[in-house]
Structure 1
Amino acid sequence: MSRPVSASGRRLNSRRRLWICPVAVALVAAVLGPGAQAGADAGRSGLPEAIDTVLGDARMEGGVASVVVADARTGELLYQHLPSTRLMPASNTKLATSAAAMELLGPGYRFTTDVLSTGRRQGSVLYGDLYLRGTGDPTLLAKDYDRLAADVAASGVTRVAGRLVADDTRFDDQRLGRSWAADDESSYYSAQISALSVAPDTDYDTGTVIVTVAPGEEAGDEPVVTVTPDTDHVDLDVRATTVAAGGANDLTVEREHGTNTIVVSGTTPVGGAGAKEWATVWEPTGYAAAVFRDALAKHGVKVVGPTRLGRQTPATARELASHDSMPLKDLLVPFMKLSNNMHAEILTKAMGYEASKQGSWSAGLRAVSGYLKGIGVDSGKLRQVDGSGLSRMNNFPAGQLVELLLAVRAEPWYADWYRALPVACAPDRFVGGTLRTRMCGTAAALNARAKTGSLTGASALSGYVTDAGGRELVYGIVLNNYLASSVKPLEDAIVVTLAKSTAQAAGSASVRGGGMNTDIECSWRKPDIC
């Protein structure tokens, strides 16, 4: 069994296990249930044995786990279980992507969106094309396009005699990641990637719209369906029916493959809650152009010609308006707290462009791999095919995740990166993120910080926690191939065990199990149920 290498290059000691844990059996029993006590009584008294017992829970029968724990300051290995076994990390992939982005793009990196033209002005008429040029900003809202349109109007232009050209050429035209599931096409956490798009709200789920369904006044009425932002880029096909009060609220909102037709079907009762769903759009560049064209019209600027997509802005074009995104160090908060897949993929392509003028997944992933190698993470021992972890082809061992978590502590931007990690049991969505309902009432609450990860049959939790003696620990937990609806309580049990431990002893804790299906991140379930 190979031993991970510390950030300093020193071999980690796989044999040295410091904790003595005489009451760990109470933790195991609390987490795993009544059947755990007998097995724990058979001589299991140390922390490593307690973690081994957690991993031996029936929920992991037939599954596989890669788990590593290390001292954050020294890099000393304190526990390992299959540390070099490569498993699907799900959204733990974002740890590599986000760290590389902070180093290669920089904490102050901003995406810029510009409006430009090569045309000549005659009075209030612009003779020529109007260019909307994007560089990948995943936080652009309809109000930002409105502000750009207002600036164009303020420059004195009321009529554009040419076309509206949407320039998304900063990135390539590959919209979906490698091996992303076809049945996720309409799901907002699997939106198409473009250098020019729109987010419907401040969760910044770019490339999506919000569809709100309200029941009609009487049974038999068609429900009232609205889209945010209000755009004709999508078409609504309402097949749903309002039923009598007390009837089933059973609605489905799904975009048809290869189109921008969103079908609303099912039933919703009079006086009922209706539904609010997020759905992806087909061709986000066209979506952005449609929202911007509408904004121009609202501000009295008429574009005579049609919209053209994907043409590069001439170098001689003059700027009429511009918008800058928030800096990357702030963008990391919605990205990492809510596990935003689209942010990860956009940052990957942005890294590719900045490194080699190729806004592609392949170029971006080469840049990420180069960063990992530079900090001592052996990228040859892992496989990364996208930025977010949505692909089931990604393979990371816990040992390499821990090496990454150790190495980034020395980076000058570490404090901002650390701040973006979800915090256990912190109730605010933009603090606790995907951990805000987990490990409450334990020593890990408001203590553990980690990136979560969830796909069908794959779960991960990797990050930092401070033990009872004030020592910071690093952990990587990747669980795969289980059939249980949730193995999150097992991850929590390990982290709470670490939080209650000292170098000499560990106390007991109680961790509630959860029955919720965790095939996908809780933050990917809209409205957010974390």
Structure 2
Amino acid sequence: MKFRILGVVVAAATGLTLTSSGGAVAGGNEALTRDLDTILADSGLQGADVGVTVRDANTGEIVYTRSGGRRSQVGSNLKVLTTTAALDLLGPDYRWKTDLQSSGARSGSTLNGDLVLRGTGDPTMSAPRYNDLAIALKNSGVTQVSGALVLDDTAFDSQPYGPGWAWDDEPFSYNAETSALTLSPDAKISAGTVIVNVQPGASAGAPVQVSVEPANDHVQIVNTATTGDGGISVERDHGTNVIRVSGSTSVATAALSTVKDPTGLVGSVFRKALAANGIQVQGGVRRGKAPQGAAVLASDQSMTLGQLMNPLLKNSNNMLAEVLVKSAGGSFGNGVNQLSRKWAGLGVDPNWVEIFDGSGMSRMDEISPDDLSSILVKAKTKPWFGTWQSSLPVAGRDGTLVNRMKGTKAEGNVVAKTGSMSGVSALTGYVTTQAGRQLVFSVVQNNLVLWFSPKTIEDKIAVRLANDGGASVAATQKTQTVPQQRKAPAEKPTKVPAKERFDVECSWVDAC
């Protein structure tokens, strides 16, 4: 109620005029209202719930609104709230540490006691950096550990997934587990995953060869794939570390797979690194907490939170967003509560949103276009704004917008966060009109049918805002979508051509 009441007050103060179709316009800008109403009249939106808010980026004045106060699922647009609140709470210079610790005494080259690998959630850790920790320990003179290798992931709780996540997304890289000890096998920082490499055999029908990066004994590969042209499927069995490779391929291919228990994966990779550097651990591997006052033998430090914004927002990286939540409070629930302390300063009343994770993957998350657009206005007043805004995708240039709005006034102009889930699509960002006025906008679409491409609606709105108006703009936007013969529901990324999918972020299926 508070935001709806506030919206009415703002409307009265700024002279908003409601149109018969439910839109609103400030200052009598009827051409804009007419054009946006025309775009939103697309027959493909029949039965859908659509909310749109456009504001002046500097004053917050509402320029256009349609159901802007209605809470909805917003997919990855939730990262707008998560990242700005985390920058306010943790600070752009925040870093994650991974330490080798021990309370044991040295006797020559032997460490008498346990060797503890303690993580604080660094999602950028990799096999080479774990190897560097082993090298640092070797260079200190240690070649033998009398105790165990202890894996300490207690900085985060043991809940691997956000509340309300879909179980059938479990195998896919955008749905990995969150752990205080994890690793990423690639440059995109796909924390909690491994790369499955497939090499075709010498002739048609021959078995393919499968390898995993980084090498580990945590996952089990079941390979039934052959050499051919049918396409490869890589999928992990629910609740296990059995990764099944099936189908056929005649070219080398690679795919990401999530793992069950990233801490266990790290333990396997680090144990191999210790052995490769001539360090023997006599007591095996176990889980535990570093003793209080344990000495730090070697340490690794991540990039800063500010530097992490670019891969997080450009690629809509879910796992990086969830690390922010758990870094704020140790668990999903407490992390959201800690971040919510900063929401009011971003124009969001914690009483009138429902947030359960950091990435927007939860089907229980609900926030309005009014809230999202307000965050963009408030962010401009923050000391970290330049870093944050430059990390948003740029229309027609990079990130999840690299292939959208090319050849229009929006290209290189619109910087915005995308959001995609089955039945949900959203776009929230900044745009400068031809007259030089900077606007913020948020478009949220829910209850969409699968045959319809909602990105066209978002792009038309953004392109219209990038222009100063005119009948010619509106005239090009009046074509309505005609439904085709119903298609079967989309399968998962390993089974559906990436460019046909509108229900996931393009970066998640390498389709950008």
Query: Same fold, TM exceeding 0.5?
Result: yes
Q: Which amino acid in the other structure matches residue 2 of structure 1? A: R
- Residue 14 of structure 1: CA displacement? 3.4
Shift of 1:89: 0.4
Say yes or no: does 1:307 pair with 2:291: no
Report the CA distance shift for 1:19/1:226 in structure 2 as closer, same or farther (over 3 A): farther
Alignment correspondent of 1:444? 410
Work out whether 1:523 is the aligned partner of 2:507. yes
Aligned mate of 1:76, from 61, 74, 79: 61
Please name the residue that 1:364 is paired with.
335
Partners of 1:329 and 1:261 in 2: how far apart? 36
Q: Tell whether the 8 Å contact from 2:11 to 2:62 is kept in structure 1 after alignment.
A: no
Q: CA deviation at 1:326?
A: 0.3
Match of residue 327 from structure 2: 350
Q: Is 2:17 the partner of 1:17?
A: no
1:496 aligned residue (463, 472, 484): 463
Alignment of 1:389-400 (within 5 A): 389-400=360-371
* Cα distance change of structure 1 residues 112 and 9 upon mapping to structure 2, 3 Å threshold: farther
Candidates 454, 457, 473, aligned match of 1:508: 473
Are 1:285 and 2:293 counterparts? no
The correspondence of residues 132-143 of structure 1 with structure 2, limited to 5 A, is 132-143=117-128
Task: Tell me by how many angstroms 1:366 deviates.
Answer: 0.8
Unaligned runs of 5+ in 1: 22-44, 353-358, 427-431
**Unpaired stretches in structure 2, ≥5 consecutive residues:** 18-23, 482-497
2:436 to 449, 470, 481: 470
Tell me if the contact between 1:4 and 1:399 (Cα under 8 Å) persists in the aligned partners. no
- Alpha-carbon distance, 1:251 to partner: 1.5
CA distance in 1, matches of 2:445, 2:182: 35
1:36 — aligned with what? none
Q: In terms of mean alpha carbon deviation, does 510-519 or 124-133 score higher?
A: 510-519
Matches of 1:107 and 1:65 in 2, distance apart?
Answer: 34
Report what 2:491 is aligned to.
none
Match of 1:267 among 248, 272, 290: 248
Contact 1:486 1:518 in 2 (8 A): yes
SS across alignment from 1:371: coil
CA distance in 2, matches of 1:489, 1:497: 12
- Specify whether residues 238 and 507 from structure 1 end up closer, same or farther in structure 2 by C-alpha distance, changes over 3 A only: same
Give SS of 2:291's match: coil
Q: How many Å separate the matches in 1 of 2:465 and 2:12?
A: 23
What letter matches 2:321 in structure 1? A
Deviation at 1:94, TM superposition (A): 0.5
Q: Do the aligned residues in 1 keep the contact of 2:15 with 2:26 (CA within 8 Å)?
A: no
- Say whether residues 1:482 and 2:448 are aligned partners: yes
**C-alpha distance in structure 2 between counterparts of 1:260 and 1:114, whole Å:** 26
Letter in 2 for 1:391: S
Identity between Structure 1 and Structure 2 (%): 44
Structure 1 length as normaliser, TM-score? 0.87
State the SS of the aligned residue for 1:405.
helix
Q: 2:26, 2:64 within 8 Å by CA — same for their partners in 1?
A: no
Q: Report the Cα distance in structure 2 between the residues aligned to 1:374 and 1:97, rounded to whole angstroms.
A: 13
Q: Tell me the alpha carbon deviations over residues 495-526 of structure 1, each in whole angstroms, 9 at most, x when there is no partner.
A: 00000126xx576286899983211111111x
Report the Cα distance in structure 2 between the residues aligned to 1:397 and 1:237, rounded to whole angstroms: 45
Which is worse superposed, 374-383 or 48-57? 374-383
Partner of 2:303: 326
Amino acid at match of 2:244: V
For the pair 1:377 / 2:343, whether they are aligned, the reply is no
Task: Please give the per-residue CA displacement for 1:421-475, whole angstroms capped at 9, x wherever unaligned.
Answer: 111111xxxxx11011110000000110011000000000001000001110000
The superposition leaves residues 235-274 of structure 1 with CA deviations (integer Å, 9 ceiling, x where unpaired) of: 111011224xxxx332111111222111111122xxx224
Report SS of the residue matched to 1:273: coil
* Cα deviation 1:134-153 (Å, max 9, x = unaligned): 00101001111011110000
Q: 1:453 is matched with which residue?
A: 419
The answer on 1:406 being equivalent to 2:377 is: yes
* Secondary structure, aligned partner of 2:85: helix
**Count of residues in Structure 1 that have an aligned counterpart in Structure 2:** 483
Change in 2 beyond 3 A, CA 1:208/1:10: farther
2:191 is matched with 206
Residue 242 (structure 1) aligned with residue 227 (structure 2): yes
- Where do residues 145-160 of structure 1 align in structure 2 (5 Å cutoff)? 145-160=130-145
| In 2: Cα distance, 1:529 partner to 1:211 partner | 19
My pick for the range that moved more, 213-222 or 444-453, is 213-222
CA distance in 1, matches of 2:13, 2:139: 63
Tell me which amino acid in the other structure corresponds to 1:455: M
CA 1:13–1:66: 2 relative to 1, 3 Å: farther
Q: CA deviation at 1:72?
A: 0.7
* Alpha-carbon distance in 2 for matches of 1:9, 1:234: 57
Pairing 1:317–2:289 present: no
2:226, 2:279 → 1: CA distance?
40
Report the counterpart of residue 338 of structure 1 in structure 2. Answer: 315
2:25–2:65 Cα contact (<8 Å) kept: no
SS at match of 1:464: strand
Q: Does the 8 Å CA contact 2:345/2:378 hold for their aligned counterparts? A: no
**Aligned counterparts of 2:462 and 2:319: Cα–Cα separation in 1:** 28
1:102 aligns with 2:77: no
Once the 2 structures are TM-superposed, how far is the Cα of residue 19 of structure 1 from its aligned partner? 7.8
Cα offset for 1:2?
Answer: 2.8
For residue 14 of structure 1, what is the amino acid of its counterpart? Answer: L
Deviations 1:155-188 (A, max 9, x none): 0011111111110000101111111111111111
Q: How far apart are the structure 2 equivalents of 1:13 and 1:395? A: 29
Question: Which amino acid in the other structure matches residue 282 of structure 1?
Answer: K
Q: Distance in 1 between matches of 2:355 and 2:281?
A: 43
2:71 paired residue among 52, 73, 86: 86
Alignment of 1:56-75 (within 5 A): 56-75=41-60
Decide whether the 8 Å contact of 2:26 with 2:62 is kept in 1.
Answer: no
Alpha-carbon separation, structure 2, partners of 1:222 and 1:12: 69
Give a deviation string over 1:58-110, Cα, whole Å, max 9, x none. Answer: 22111010100011112111100001111110000101100011010000000
Task: Please list every run of at least 4 consecutive aligned residues from structure 1 whose deviation after the TM superposition is greater than 4 angstroms.
Answer: 3-6, 8-13, 18-21, 509-515
Match for 1:470: what amino acid?
Answer: G
Q: CA deviation at 1:370?
A: 1.8
- Please give the root-mean-square deviation of Cα atoms over the aligned residues, in Å: 2.2
